[in-house]
Structure 1
Amino acid sequence: MNLKFILFLHFYLYIVFTSNANELDSLSFNDYSSVSEKQFIEEAIIHPLNPPNTSSPRATIVSFINNMKYSHQILKATYLKNIELPGYFISDSIKEEMYQAELIFDRATDCLDLSSFPPSIQKDMSFSRAIMLKEILDRIPIPDLEKIPNKRDVEYDLENKKHPQLSHWRIPKTEIILVKQATEDSQGQYLFSKETVERIPGFYEEIKHLPYKSENYISKNFYPFYISTPGLLIPPKWISLLPDWSTTMLLNQTIWQWSALLFFIAISIGVAKVLHYILIELMSDRSAVIKQWSKVLFITCCIIIIYFLNRLLNDQVNLVGNVLVGFKIGLEALFWLLFSFLTFHFTSAIAESIINTSNAKKIGLEATYTRAIFMVLSTILTFFVIVFGLSQIGLAVLPLVTGVGIGGIAIALAIRPTLENIIASFTIFADKPYRVNDRVQVLNYNGTIESIGIRSTRIRLLSGPLVTVPNEKMATVEIENIQKRPYLKRDFNIKIKHESSIEIVEKSVQIIKDVLAVPMNSNTPDHPNHAINNMEFPPKVFFNQINNDSFNIYVVFWYFPAEWWDFMEFSEKINFKIIKSLKEASIDFAFPTQTLQLQNSSKSKASTVD
């Protein structure tokens, strides 16, 4: 129930009854209906969804006047009953009667074509436009019923005339027009045209100086009190507490309305700043999940603030006219903008929660694509929210969608490299050639994968710098994933002096095998040499080559697992053991030698130096 409507009528009725009570009691209804007041009201209450009769110009005018008239009558009787009750608040029985009056009033507004107004303000505009139209009809002459086309005239015009003339009807000597609707939901119905509804304020300004017609049941000073009375913010019996200066009109609003407007806006901004400090600034050093959900909570609170501010300014402060339209559309636009942000951050928060609960690496491939999928989803949902929001504030959506479609082609061409990288990232996601923290050799870069994004992959080189490689390249080149090797292989040569006997060489080979083997009497399962004595890859030692200056012993082993620094530490220990064991056996390593022949030219005598 719109209690704003009720309370401004309270104020109006208060003035009417205190200054013109005798005049109102003496007025009689203009007989626009063969149905009695009681029957009309009972029918409206029993069938609240039954629309007004708008099948012809006559039916529409009768419906509008009767609904406005009977709504006013209920409120008049309700007000008299309410002022006799004690207390400052409205009782349930009074609220019920007010609901009945509003129900009938809404049927009057159904006679207006409000399609020129954005959906978000149609309800609000219908109140002021209906009241102003009633003020106009109370002051201008209206033809007798028999001179206004009825449904029979409409049907005759449609069936018997080659060019039907009753597609619209104008109240004589006015620009107030009723138009036959062609839309699907109201086809064939006669409503006050949208052009007429738009121009009602101008019509009212032109006729407000005219006297009321004494033969009609008038609504004296209906609109002036509508634009100056508060809603539930100040209960009806408190109205007298307002100082006289606060009801002075300034730019079509009273001073108290401007004051209330500034007060509530300031309070809303203050509350939003406090919430921003608590939910955004204080949470800046928390985890990504907490920060995302804090943003969601902050935006939700802002939407709630906008909702209540809208209700206060509309229902309680009772703004009207262009001020109402401006603030209503502005708040509606802000509401849908915040709702689009909420949609985006809500899906992002879900993505971060999934990544966090699944223990996925926050910069890994799975985390990246979880974010990407939810980002695409949030972008689509946000787009639809924005389109719907634009339609609610009256902006044409079709040209926007068409423009986006045409501009999308140009954008696609401009971002072609980015699209190639994104598509390549999906290839990397499918093949999984590397993951975060994997050590890779690619494009002459040797380092560790630090992060995998939608557009590029970042590699921390062993020398320190961070290299960013586009995914389009990473998907087309050969990648050596060092991290995925199951073992580390080491092969090296040990050279024995050329003068050594065959027994020395055989002994050397055996010493090296013993160094690499797990001792037979070792019962320790974690002996260091277990790392190179895999059943499928045992260490190998061979006397494989006779050089000009040495005998070569080839050594190879495979270290499990492929942990680089453990491997280096183990190799160092093996080197020390081999050197120590060969020295203890008095076996010397061979060093490269070179023979130079020097010849004395004067004596022609040669000598050899080793």
Structure 2
Amino acid sequence: MGRIKSALLVLVTILFYSGTAFGFQDQEPQSRDAALLANPQRAVHTFLHWQQAGHKNPDHVIKTMKLAEADREGKIELADRLLKVFDARGLLIEYDKIPTNPNYTDSLSGLSQYILFPSLPEVYLTKTAQNEWVFSEATIQTIPDLYQNTFSSWFTFIVDNLPEWAHNEWMGIKVWQYLAVFMWLLTGLILMKIFTFFLDNYVRRVAQKTKFTWDDDLVDGVEKPAGYIFLVSFYFLTFSNLQFSVSISHTLSITLEIMLSAAVIWLLYNLADVFSKYLGVLTTKTETELDDQLIPLIRKTLRFFVVILGVIAILQNNGYNVASLIAGLGIGGLAVALAARETLANFFGSITIFLDRPFKIGDWIKTGDVEGTVEEVGFRSTRVRTFYNSLVSVPNSNLANTDIDNLGLRKYRRLKTVLNLTYSTTPEQMEAFVEGIKAIVKANKHFRQDMYEVHFNAFGAHSLDVLVYVFLDVPDWSTELQQRHNFFLEVLRLAKDVGVEFAFPTQTLHMDSFYKDEPRKVGEERSEEELAAAVHEFGPDGQKGKPEGIRIFKDGEEVDFGANK
């Protein structure tokens, strides 16, 4: 009896475990499917992992294609094509960023969907009624178009019909890919040469036929960057045909995208120069000179913003959160402002200069110990070319808070001097000498005619002093020096004709033993008629006046001393 009970107990146990085992086997496929598609991360892992070499399992992969209306082979082909699109475009998947929540919902649409790549929004996962995450019907329908847009049909045909040896791998890259890279680079360079040839021989010719000059500058400015943009664009649009691995394609995609952005920045940078030149042509037609001074500042501002916006665009396109970066800079803004207060002071100083207009480009100014011609007004400093040809950069903050003597804005240049005549000069000679100088001034068109003073001004310790206070109407310093030279030569010649001598500091010592001797006779006596004639001869209609300088002849040819430059 006991043996019967033991046998029955063993039989029941066997049946129990057998039933459990059979039940587990019936539920295992469903539970495994649920595990493979439990959340977006698991679904993406199932799609990618079971297509890798060494552990391929098409039966697992096609589970992500459940919504496709195709047989098993058709689903396998869809999955294979989608993976090739990801790899060729360099769409690198980071598992850590994929949500693991089975009940994940999109923050924008509120639906149970997950978009794998922002640059490819048509490819996304969706949650089914069985709580499984699979590729959506829209994704499955767009796979053929994605594949066709990613790979050239004729190129794919050539690759599929290559001999077997061309598909052998060396260092992880197939032989045909090495050959394709060479042809790819060569084709891009040839197309770029054709593009630049078209610009040089057609577009430039059209620009040269116009009466404008800015279009020629435009062609010069865009020729090189446009050719570079054309080259990089070709590479960026066709690199997916090389069918590299996802890591190589990803690196290549980022590199080409940065190169393309840099080329666009280069183009806009050159266009800023062309635009500045065009503004310069417009400002030359206006009467005010303020806009002429603004051109260099506008050019620098445009260049600055082109570079800054270009860098921001590159960072934004490569996944950097520029908004958080700017916010981080804002936190340290106080420290930056304190450290750069001199720079800010110079910047506002430049604004003050443009608003107040104390000088313009080309003016002769003197500020502090610096004297020279203004060459450029920048954000930080003003560059002054001194008369010994050095270039001095003066901070704009200093210019805004100091005295500026703008010698370049003078309409007239003053000449003030005192001529010292000896005490032997007679009153008649003095009068003739003073009137003669006035005649010289009247005869010279470079002197201001409505304002000048020439007078016997003082009895000096050793001379009779004649004040000469006149103004020159000349455009620059070089002409001023030349006219001063001519004027003083005229005065010397007048003094000789009038018979006066210039004094120099002397002391006369009278000796008792020589009281009978007559002192040295200084100067020459002239009659009143001779004095009047001398004054007339140096006047506007006189024959002896030479307001433009003395002309000396040797052997019948004029000797050029550089006096009449």
- What's the TM-score once normalised by structure 2's chain length? 0.57
1:497–1:549 contact (8 Å) kept in structure 2: yes
Q: Does 1:232 align with 2:157?
A: no
Give, as a single letter, the amino acid of the residue that structure 2 aligns with 1:594.
Q
2:353–2:400 contact (8 Å) kept in structure 1: yes
Q: Which secondary structure does the structure 1 equivalent of 2:446 belong to?
A: helix
Match of residue 378 from structure 2: 453
Match of residue 563 from structure 2: none
Q: Which secondary structure does the structure 1 equivalent of 2:507 belong to?
A: coil
Q: Does 1:557 align with 2:474?
A: no
2:254–2:318 contact (8 Å) kept in structure 1: no
Q: Does 1:308 align with 2:308?
A: no
Q: Does 1:566 align with 2:487?
A: no
Shift of 1:340: 4.0
Give, as a single letter, the amino acid of the residue that structure 2 aligns with 1:371.
R
1:336–1:389 contact (8 Å) kept in structure 2: no
The 5-angstrom pairing of residues 89-100 of structure 1 reads: none
Whole-angstrom CA distance in 1 between matches of 2:219 and 2:335: 36
Give, as a single letter, the amino acid of the residue that structure 2 aligns with 1:466.
L
Shift of 1:484: 1.0
Q: Which secondary structure does the structure 1 equivalent of 2:362 belong to?
A: coil
Q: Does 1:389 align with 2:317?
A: yes
Are residues 463 and 231 of structure 1, via their aligned partners in 2, closer, same or farther at CA, if it must alter by over 3 Å?
Answer: closer
Match of residue 247 from structure 1: 167
Match of residue 407 from structure 2: 482
Give, as a single letter, the amino acid of the residue that structure 1 aligns with 2:153.
L
2:189–2:231 contact (8 Å) kept in structure 1: no
1:237-258 Cα shifts (integer Å, max 9, x gaps): x567411222346677644234
Are residues 121 and 242 of structure 1, via their aligned partners in 2, closer, same or farther at CA, if it must alter by over 3 Å?
Answer: closer
Whole-angstrom CA distance in 1 between matches of 2:403 and 2:165: 83
Shift of 1:330: 3.5
Match of residue 532 from structure 1: 447
Give, as a single letter, the amino acid of the residue that structure 2 aligns with 1:375.
R
Whole-angstrom CA distance in 2 between matches of 1:322 and 1:271: 28
Shift of 1:300: 3.3
Are residues 330 and 493 of structure 1, via their aligned partners in 2, closer, same or farther at CA, if it must alter by over 3 Å?
Answer: closer
Whole-angstrom CA distance in 1 between matches of 2:411 and 2:162: 86
Shift of 1:259: 3.4
Whole-angstrom CA distance in 2 between matches of 1:313 and 1:276: 22
Shift of 1:590: 4.2
Q: Which stretch of structure 1 is more off in the superposition, 378-387 or 367-376?
A: 378-387
Give, as a single letter, the amino acid of the residue that structure 1 aligns with 2:106.
T
Match of residue 69 from structure 1: 70
2:226–2:267 contact (8 Å) kept in structure 1: yes
Are residues 271 and 402 of structure 1, via their aligned partners in 2, closer, same or farther at CA, if it must alter by over 3 Å?
Answer: farther
Q: Does 1:372 align with 2:373?
A: no
1:264-295 Cα shifts (integer Å, max 9, x gaps): 2465478779999999xxxxxxx999888656
Q: Does 1:593 align with 2:506?
A: yes
1:295-333 Cα shifts (integer Å, max 9, x gaps): 64433333333332233232x334454343343344334
- What's the TM-score once normalised by structure 1's chain length? 0.54
Unaligned runs of 5+ in 1: 1-60, 77-104, 115-119, 130-175, 195-218, 280-286, 519-528, 600-604
Whole-angstrom CA distance in 1 between matches of 2:171 and 2:506: 108
Shift of 1:477: 1.8
Q: 1:183 aligns with which of 87, 90, 106?
A: 106
Give, as a single letter, the amino acid of the residue that structure 2 aligns with 1:382.
G
1:488–1:560 contact (8 Å) kept in structure 2: yes
Are residues 608 and 291 of structure 1, via their aligned partners in 2, closer, same or farther at CA, if it must alter by over 3 Å?
Answer: farther
Match of residue 298 from structure 1: 224
Shift of 1:488: 1.4
Shift of 1:487: 0.7
Match of residue 176 from structure 2: 256
Q: Does 1:578 align with 2:491?
A: yes
Match of residue 351 from structure 1: 276
Are residues 469 and 277 of structure 1, via their aligned partners in 2, closer, same or farther at CA, if it must alter by over 3 Å?
Answer: farther
Whole-angstrom CA distance in 1 between matches of 2:258 and 2:502: 86
Whole-angstrom CA distance in 1 between matches of 2:337 and 2:185: 43
Whole-angstrom CA distance in 1 between matches of 2:66 and 2:232: 36
Q: Which secondary structure does the structure 2 equivalent of 1:371 belong to?
A: helix
Shift of 1:357: 5.7
1:118-168 Cα shifts (integer Å, max 9, x gaps): xx9699589x99xxxxxxxxxxxxxxxxxxxxxxxxxxxxxxxxxxxxxxx
Unaligned runs of 5+ in 2: 1-61, 94-98, 118-139, 200-212, 520-565
Whole-angstrom CA distance in 2 between matches of 1:323 and 1:332: 14
Whole-angstrom CA distance in 2 between matches of 1:510 and 1:193: 99
The 5-angstrom pairing of residues 394-409 of structure 1 reads: 395-406=320-331, 408-409=333-334
Are residues 123 and 351 of structure 1, via their aligned partners in 2, closer, same or farther at CA, if it must alter by over 3 Å?
Answer: farther
2:196–2:227 contact (8 Å) kept in structure 1: no
Q: 2:387 aligns with which of 462, 469, 481?
A: 462
Structure with greater contact order relative to length (CA < 8 Å, sep ≥ 6): 1
Match of residue 34 from structure 2: none
Q: Which secondary structure does the structure 1 equivalent of 2:375 belong to?
A: strand
Give, as a single letter, the amino acid of the residue that structure 1 aligns with 2:155.
I
Q: Identity, % of aligned pairs?
A: 21
The 5-angstrom pairing of residues 105-184 of structure 1 reads: 179-184=102-107
Whole-angstrom CA distance in 1 between matches of 2:408 and 2:222: 39
Are residues 546 and 479 of structure 1, via their aligned partners in 2, closer, same or farther at CA, if it must alter by over 3 Å?
Answer: same
Are residues 542 and 367 of structure 1, via their aligned partners in 2, closer, same or farther at CA, if it must alter by over 3 Å?
Answer: same
Shift of 1:594: 0.9
